[in-house]
């Protein structure tokens, strides 16, 4: 639906959410062999994100919770990503360093427990996933561009083109990827690229992003003396990034934990799991009498204010 526009159109997304929510709920309940009366609470994404889409989900969840006389739990989108590796077969123990890499966010966090998060560093401009998508567009690939660029990179050789490693030696845990995208744009405009050229350029771009992410993640682990690194978000599915992180953490004497591939991108399972963890810990918001709000912009360090 969004492919012809090269990105998500908020109004179309909101309308599509409305059409799909009730049939999706009914299908999930059937597949889980559950009834609505079996639900102890309803978790939903309250932010950050597109306001219209958030309002559709929030109003549906809050209304259903009121009808069933159960709690509605507003969940922070990024907290869902941070906790998603706990759904794996070998979940990490707290505390750990988390590298959150998605289309909208690139952040390093220290995760002490559910609800206890410290921001260590983040992108000053484009997120890594956003840079992947924009670079894919420059190379004439489809939408979403990240997976298409990664597939093309497998056919190429990194090093033939030379791209910068932004802020690699900045001495802090911040990131910057807009300049990397601009460097690709400069090459694209300076010459005519055949398919082999595009593959090599994609490989070099992927290598540059993976090197920066891995270097900063290991630096965070060293600084905080933690040997467990969790990787979450859509870019966490990138195989080259996983290779670099696994090798670097093994050398460091630590281990990397990933969510299952189907849980890397945005999904309902991680939101439900996050809500369940808060419910089990008694972290339930006070009754608001049916009133609710969404937060399109919601810094993770303000999470406690929702409870």
Domain boundaries, the chain: 3-77+266-306, 89-258
On whether the CB atoms of residues 242 and 232 are closer than 8 A, the answer is no
Q: Which tens digit of pLDDT belongs to each residue from 171-216?
A: 999 999 999 999 999 999 999 999 999 999 999 999 999 999 999 9
Least reliable range by pLDDT among 20-29, 40-49, 147-156, 287-296: 287-296
Whether 3-77+266-306 shares its CATH topology with 89-258 is answered yes
Sheet with 116-122: list strands edge to edge.
Answer: 116-122, 106-113, 96-101, 228-232, 255-257
The correct answer on CATH 3.30.420.40 for the domain covering 89-258 is yes
Range 227-255 average pLDDT: 95
Q: Which tens digit of pLDDT belongs to each residue from 87-139?
A: 988 999 999 999 999 888 899 999 999 999 999 999 999 999 999 999 999 99
Q: How far apart are the first and last CA of the chain?
A: 36
Q: Is the pLDDT of residue 8 over 80?
A: yes
pTM of the model: 0.91
Task: Residue 99: count other Cβ atoms within 10 Å of its Cβ.
Answer: 28
Q: How much is the pLDDT for 301?
A: 77
- Which of the four CATH numbers 3.40.640.10, 3.10.20.30, 3.40.1170.10, 3.30.420.40 does domain 3-77+266-306 have? 3.30.420.40
Question: Residue 159: which pLDDT band, with cuts at 50, 70 and 90?
Answer: very high
Task: Residue 260: count other Cβ atoms within 10 Å of its Cβ.
Answer: 14
Q: State both tokens at 212.
A: 């920066």
Strands 96-101 and 228-232 turn out to be parallel
- Torsion-angle region of 47 (φ positive above 0: left; ψ -120 to 50: alpha; else: beta): left
Q: Is the pLDDT of residue 289 over 80?
A: no
Task: Residue 22: count other Cβ atoms within 10 Å of its Cβ.
Answer: 11
Range 277-302 average pLDDT: 87
Q: How much is the pLDDT for 34?
A: 95
Please provide the size of the chain in residues.
Answer: 307
């Amino acid at each position: 639906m969004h492919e012809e526009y090269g990105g998500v159109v908020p109004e179309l997304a909101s309308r599509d959410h409305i059409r799909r929510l009730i049939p999706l709920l009914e299908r999930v309940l059937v597949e889980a062999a559950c009834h609505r009366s079996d639900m102890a609470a309803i978790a939903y994404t309250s932010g950050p994100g597109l306001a219209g889409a958030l309002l559709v989900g929030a109003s549906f969840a809050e209304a259903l919770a009121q009808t069933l006389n159960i709690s509605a739990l507003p969940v922070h989108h990024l907290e869902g990503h941070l906790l998603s590796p706990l759904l794996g077969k070998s979940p990490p123990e707290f505390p750990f360093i988390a590298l959150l890499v998605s289309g909208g966010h690139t952040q390093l966090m220290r995760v002490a427990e559910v609800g206890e998060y410290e921001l260590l560093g983040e992108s000053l401009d484009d997120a890594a996933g956003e840079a992947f998508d924009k670079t894919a567009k420059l190379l004439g690939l489809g939408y979403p561009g990240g997976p298409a660029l990664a597939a093309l990179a497998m056919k190429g050789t990194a090093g033939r083109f030379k791209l910068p490693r932004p802020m690699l030696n900045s001495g802090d845990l911040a990131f910057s990827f807009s300049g990397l995208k601009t460097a690709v744009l400069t090459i694209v405009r300076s010459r005519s690229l055949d398919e082999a050229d595009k593959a090599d350029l994609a490989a070099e771009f992927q290598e540059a992003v993976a090197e920066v992410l891995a270097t900063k993640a290991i630096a965070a682990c060293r600084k905080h003396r933690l040997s467990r690194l969790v990787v979450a978000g859509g870019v966490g599915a990138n195989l080259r990034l996983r290779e670099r992180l696994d090798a670097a953490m093994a050398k460091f004497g630590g281990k990397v934990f990933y969510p299952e591939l189907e849980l890397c991108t945005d999904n309902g399972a991680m939101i439900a799991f996050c809500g369940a963890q808060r419910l089990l810990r008694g972290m339930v918001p006070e009754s608001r009498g049916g009133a609710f709000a969404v937060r399109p912009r919601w810094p993770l360090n303000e999470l406690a204010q929702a409870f």
